[in-house]
Amino acid sequence: MGENGAGKSTLMKCLFGIYNKDSGHIYFDGKEINFRNSREALDNGVAMVHQELNQALKRSVMDNIWLGRYPITSGIMVDEKKMYKDTKAVFDELEINVDPRRIMSTMPVSQRQMVEIAKAVSYNSRIIVFDEPTSSLTEEEVEHLFRIINMLRDRGVGIIYISHKMAEIKRISDYITIMRDGTHVVTKPSSELEMSDIIRYMVGRELTDQFPPKTNKVGEVSLEVEGLTAQYSLLKDVSFKAHQGEVLGLAGLDGSGRTETLENIFGNATRKSGTIRLHGKVCRNRNPRESIRNGFSLLTEERRATGIFAIENIRDNTIISSMKRHLKAGIWLSKKSMMADTQWSIDAMHTKTPSQETKIRSLSGGNQQKVIIGRWLLTDPEVLLLDEPTRGIDVGAKYEIYQLILDLANRGKTVLMVSSEMPELLGVCDRILVMSGGRLAGEVDARNTTQEEIMTLAAKYV
């Protein structure tokens, strides 16, 4: 465990051969090892399930699992039958219900994550590293993953499990190692560490409250959505109103239409019908560019695929949506202005980065998320659409993001927030809309509802 940027993933990448260590020693079965690449690690019994999925999305599930080690027939041809049979055998063992021939891009993130886990298991590894494996999984899928992990443990496989979710760590771990600022802080049996101890070791200070106090005042209706229906997804006839200064949550099971609601409002999914009004004015929002001009912004669920420009630096990723602010004489961009805005974002979000010139792909997942949130804050949106804003972010950074969300609400902005974590929705939101089967199943007051009531509504149209 550790905050974003503490060095957890970096340490594991040194083990797995992605990074070359500068000094130190790694021992496996009493012998010193130093894998030069990930293939060498896999061949020697060490596998890793990465936090950010990096899959061949246009290929099938079984292609992704056996990539680089295809079964060959007649010396030159891929044995498709054997590949299908072997994939099915792994899936049956792990109780994963996915068609091996299905194209990866057609599946939700949670199923793609389970495929990645199955791939690691298929190597018959003796050590498996799980880096934030549950960040995109539903509660039911998390339970499934834990059954897989317990099965592997009983076979004698060693599990290294990185997560920001303390309840998971306490439940699944025998020992907990905590890192801070690239150094080892402590390793203790899980039974000897309470959650308050873990937080103190992680952040170096006491963190008594999980959520900031709700000081925002809900005002007049600002956003009106009527009859929102998607062209190419199950979203049908969704209508609701959101107010100035309100944090409105969207809850529901995976595939319920939460993400599709935000994408259709923002215009990066094709809308079949429906009306969107902001302060009484109709907003067509036919595409993201038009939506930004109309005062909307969208933080997407998959930051690697649709959030970051991986080969660009922090500055380019920060100012990409607000470039008009930096035009001089309407002709060229002011580097001084861009640097000032980027520095504001880094300071406001407490982003850990060596410099503005650092490539965003080299940052931890949580710090990448902070850069994207800073990007949207610079557009000064009237409506901020957040899809899993704290996914893969540590407890200290989560608090900072919750505070930023409430600060925006205090400034009269309207925030729509999708989250798979119900305590988060209850702790931050004023009202919660519950989606089920692509439809709006109900609305609850976050101050007076329960997780059981939300789950009952979430199952209404399933």
CATH number of the domain enclosing 387: 3.40.50.300
Integer Cα distance of 164 and 392 in angstroms: 7
Segment 238-265, tens digit of pLDDT: 999 999 999 999 999 878 999 999 999 9
Residues 164 and 254 occupy one common structural domain: no
Residues 225 and 126 occupy one common structural domain: no
Residue 214 lies in a domain: no
Residues 169 and 270 occupy one common structural domain: no
Residue 49: helix, strand or coil by DSSP? strand
Residue ranges in the chain whose pLDDT is less than 50: none
- Provide the pLDDT for residue 126: 94
Residue 170 lies in a domain: yes
Sheet with 383-387, strands from edge to edge, namely 296-299, 383-387, 414-418, 247-251, 431-436, 439-445
What are the residues whose beta carbons fall under 8 Å from the beta carbon of 215, sequence distance 6 or more?
406, 410
Integer Cα distance of 331 and 248 in angstroms: 40
Give the CA angle between residues 44, 79, 17 to the nearest 5°: 20
Residues 18 and 149 occupy one common structural domain: yes
Residue 216 lies in a domain: no
- Provide the pLDDT for residue 356: 97
The per-residue DSSP string of 53-95 comes to ----TTSBHHHHHHTTS--EETTTEE-HHHHHHHHHHHHHHHT
- N- to C-terminal Cα distance for the chain? 36
Instruction: Give how many domains the chain has, as a whole number.
Output: 2
User: Is residue 176 classed exposed, middle or buried when 0-12, 13-18 and 19+ CB atoms within 10 A define those classes?
Assistant: buried
Residue 272 lies in a domain: yes
- Provide the pLDDT for residue 254: 76
Residues 168 and 248 occupy one common structural domain: no
Residues 258 and 198 occupy one common structural domain: no
- Residue 169 near residue 163, CB atoms below 8 Å: yes
Sheet with 238-243, strands from edge to edge, namely 238-243, 221-230, 271-278, 281-282
- Provide the pLDDT for residue 207: 58
Residues 169 and 250 occupy one common structural domain: no
Q: Return the percent helix, strand and coil in the chain, to nearest 5.
A: 40, 20, 40
CA distances from 406 to 70, 224, 248, 330 (A): 51, 21, 11, 35
Segment 61-101, tens digit of pLDDT: 999 999 989 998 877 898 999 999 999 999 999 999 999 99
Residues 189 and 333 occupy one common structural domain: no
Residue 256: helix, strand or coil by DSSP? coil
Residue 215 lies in a domain: no
**Domain boundary residue among 203, 237, 257?**
203
Residue 275 lies in a domain: yes
| Largest CA-CA distance found in the chain, in angstroms, rounded | 71
- Provide the pLDDT for residue 202: 82
- Residue 436 near residue 458, CB atoms below 8 Å: yes
- Residue 199 near residue 3, CB atoms below 8 Å: no
Residues 22 and 128 occupy one common structural domain: yes
Integer Cα distance of 114 and 96 in angstroms: 8
- Domain range for 387: 221-458
Residues 347 and 278 occupy one common structural domain: yes
Which residue in the block uniquely carries the two structure tokens 């873990």? 198
Q: pTM of this prediction?
A: 0.69
Residues 95 and 177 occupy one common structural domain: yes
- Provide the pLDDT for residue 205: 61
Residue 254 lies in a domain: yes
**Domain boundary residue among 154, 170, 203?**
203
Residues 240 and 345 occupy one common structural domain: yes
Residue 141 lies in a domain: yes
- Residue 221 near residue 242, CB atoms below 8 Å: yes
Integer Cα distance of 273 and 227 in angstroms: 7
**Domain boundary residue among 149, 170, 203?**
203
